[in-house]
Every structure is written in C-alpha cells, then in structure tokens.
Amino acid sequence: MAIQSRSEFASALNQVCSERGIEPEVVIDSIKQAILAAYRKDYGEPEGIEVDLDANSGEVKLHKYKKDVTPAGFGRIAAQTAKQVILQRIREAEKNAILEEYSSKINTIVSGVVQRISGPVITVNLGKAEAIMPPQEQGRTEKYFVNQRLKFYVVGIKEGTRGEEIIVSRSDNGLLEGLFKQEVPEIASGAVEVKAIAREAGSRSKIAVASGQLGVDPVGSCVGQKGVRVQAVINELNDEKIDVIAYQEDLGEFIKAALSPAKELQVKIEEETKTAEVTAPDDQLSLAIGKEGQNVRLAAKLTGYKIDIRGTSGTPREVEQREKSAVEEAKKALGVTDEEPKAEGTTEESSATDDSQSTQAVPDPNIAANPDLDPVQPEDAAVLKSREEEADASDKEPLIADSEEKKEEAEAEKVAENIQAADVTKDSDPNATIDKVDETVSTDGENS
C-alpha cells in the first residue's frame, strides 16, 4: 500500500515500489537492515539496537533499551554506506515478487521475445522477467532468432546456476492445449474437453476431444468454420500438422479413429498386455503406418496401447515386396523399362569410344616385330578415321589402273577393225578408203 504523503522521501519510496513492483514495507525493512549494517561497520555490533524510520519524513533514529543512541551525523554516513545494501535488498525483493507472480502462471501460456541465444540455451524476455528455454524444451524443426516474438508454455521454476529460473517450453503438450483454449471458446468454457494429446513437436500432433453437452460437435468446434481455428494454432506452431480426433469410449473405435486417415480397420485388443492388433487392407496399410511409422507411433501415445499393425495379406514388409513385384510385372507386360533416356550426344560419344577401344585392340605391327618397344598411345578418333580413308583409297588404286588398261585395249581393237574394213574396200576407191581410215584414226585419237 502506497504511503499517502507529499514529502520527498515518501515520493521516492512510492516511485521505487511502483517501478519494482514491490510493497513499501519491504523497502522500509531493507532500509532498516542497511542502517544496522552501516552502524556495525563504524560502531561495532548493534546488540539490542532498534531502528525507527519515519515513513513520511524519512528521519532515522536508533534506540537501545528505549534510549536514543543515534550518533551525530549518522544519517548522512548511513545513507552513503547503506546505498549498496539497500539496492541489493530491493533487487532481491523484486526478484522474489516476480517469481511469486510467475509461480501463479505455471502451466499457462505467456508471450515473450527471444532475447539471447547462448549456444543451445535460449533466453526469453517475458517483460518483467527473463526465462530460459533448454534444448529439450525446443521444437526439433523450429529455428529461433533474436527479437522473434513467440508464445511459450511456462513449465515451472527451477534452481539454476544464478538462482531460481523460469523455465519455458515450445515442445510441451500443454502449449498445444493452451493454444486451443485461446482459439476455441468451447474448450475455455468447458463445453469441449481435451482428453488426450500426442505430439512430436514441429512435425505432427494428434489431439482427442470430447463434448459434454448435447448438440456440440467437439471436432467441428476445434476446427472452426473453414478451418480458421485450427489454422491459427498451426500458424503459431510453424505449420505443425494437427489431427483433431473425436474421443470414443469404445477403445477399439478410439484406436481406429487414432489411426486416421486409414479406414476399414479391424482391431483386436488384449487388455492384460495393453496391446492392440490391427489389420488393415493392403491399400490402407501405408496410411495407417505413416511416414517412418509416425502415424501409428502417435496413435499408440494417444491411446496408451501398443499397436501391432499388419495387412490382410501379410506383414507390412511382405505387402511391400508383393506390391513391388506386381509393379515390375506390369512394367514387363507393357514393355516399360527403368532405363533413363540418354542425353544428346551420348550415342556419338559412345560410338567414338567404341571405335577408339576397337582401334586400341588392333596390335601394332611395330610392336609385333619389336616387342621391346613401348606400346603406341591411343590417338584421336578423327586421326584414326582419316588413316582408314587413306587406306581405302590406296586399295582402290589398282582397280582404277585395270579399268584404264581395258579401255585402251578396246580402243586398239576398234582401230584394227577399221583398218581391216579399209583393206576390203581399197580396190574400189583407194582414196576414199584412205580418207575414211584417216578420219577414223583421228576420231579415235580425239576420243582417247
């Protein structure tokens, strides 16, 4: 309660109390302890001495057995000596007041700002106080940075290296429940009750809800119109997937609902061992198990039962092998191969490589004649190709020569026939025959 006075001491006292959030009686008691500490420093042990402090004027008097023993000028000396003690006492009182305030906020959600990241430990500014978030209380997939504003779940107050510390969390199940209480009025009022929560922070969560009032749909209340309520929670948890499930009193039906989105499941429960054997159609088996077994793992946490799941035609591994073999058979029937199409230029490169390899395989005659010589290094494909063309040309030269010889022989035979024809007709007209022969010879010469 603030002191009703206009004096400077009372105004300063009220200001300190309002800024630090502590009671005036705590500050006055701290000042008395500081005055005794100052007296002890200068005058010895203050046995039997009582401090009288006027809360309105700030006047200090020391009494021993109802006798005033205040030293001369003690007020000024005590003020200088007791300053640090007073500040320390006020800080301790302030911290105790803050811890007492947040003790009432345990298991609730508070808003804070990431103030400092010291290795794996994150310091969060909650306004009046600082809290820490250890690695085990952080989301596995969440990334934090300075000045990031988030909502945290107050786990408790524990003794740390610097005294008592407030512990906050982003991975606790209570954060998910608290966010739904803020977004869903039916949960806050008690019309809808959260029965169980299974969570893998940052990845996926399942929450089972039930309604105690007729006409209230628990799942619809949590999801909201067009999913606005559950989407607000998802956004706060950095796109963590959330499955809202209707709680069932029948354990078998509850396990079926927990394994959603898989359908057409058959459940056999053993109460003694708390085990449930689930049989799913082959086409629903992968949905029931989930990615890396996450769906069935969360369902087991939600229901509290160990779940053994299998397909109608065998274990999950057998079903998977059967599906793979069926796909391979279908590909073979359709003539589909798994070979990837070759890129452009691959065929040419492979053919060139084959040519070079085949060229390398041909033994060099120099090496055969002189085995002590070093083997010839493989040459470029273009050089090898030009050599092959030259070899082909040299092979064709004898053929060309033979054809020319045959042509000359044919021309000679033709000339001989013309001369023979001239001998037959020279008796009748020798001049004409000679001219004809000359023309023939000249013509044959031009042709040749």
Residues 124 and 230 in one domain: yes
What residues does 443 pair with on adjacent strands? none
pTM of the predicted structure, to 2 decimals: 0.58
Residues 174 and 277 in one domain: no
Residues 92 and 125 in one domain: no
Q: What gap in Å lies between CA 178 and CA 187, rounded to an integer?
A: 10
Q: By residue range, what is the domain housing residue 402?
A: 393-448
Q: How many domains does the chain have?
A: 4
Please identify, among 236, 270, 291, the residue that sits at the C-terminal boundary of a domain. 236
pLDDT per position as a tens digit, 395-439: 554 444 455 556 666 766 765 666 555 554 444 444 444 444 444
- Which pair of tokens denotes residue 429? 């007209």
What residues does 113 pair with on adjacent strands? 125, 149
- Would residue 380 count as lying in a domain? no
306: domain CATH number is 3.30.300.20
Q: What gap in Å lies between CA 168 and CA 133, rounded to an integer?
A: 5
- Which pair of tokens denotes residue 161? 């290296």
Other CB atoms within a 10 A radius of the CB of residue 204 amount to 18
- Would residue 173 count as lying in a domain? yes
Residues 121 and 227 in one domain: yes
How does 402-441 read in b/e, with b if 16+ C-beta sit within 10 Å?
eeeeeeeeeeeeebeebeeebeeeeeeeeeebeeebeebe
Q: Which spans in 53-193 are helix H?
A: 74-81, 83-103, 173-183, 185-189
Residues 270 and 165 in one domain: no
pLDDT in tens, the chain (448 residues): 444 445 677 787 788 777 777 778 877 887 788 778 777 777 777 777 888 877 777 777 788 877 777 777 666 666 666 667 677 777 887 788 888 888 888 999 999 999 999 889 999 999 888 899 999 999 888 899 999 999 999 999 888 777 788 999 999 999 999 999 999 999 999 999 999 999 998 899 999 999 988 889 999 999 999 999 999 999 999 889 999 999 989 999 999 999 988 888 888 988 888 899 888 888 888 888 888 889 999 999 999 999 988 887 767 666 677 677 777 777 777 777 655 444 444 444 444 444 444 444 444 444 444 444 444 444 455 545 565 565 555 555 444 445 555 666 676 676 566 655 555 444 444 444 444 444 444 444 444 3
- Would residue 241 count as lying in a domain? no
Phi then psi for 151, rounded to 5 degrees?
A: -105, 140
pLDDT per position as a tens digit, 271-298: 888 899 888 888 888 888 888 889 999 9
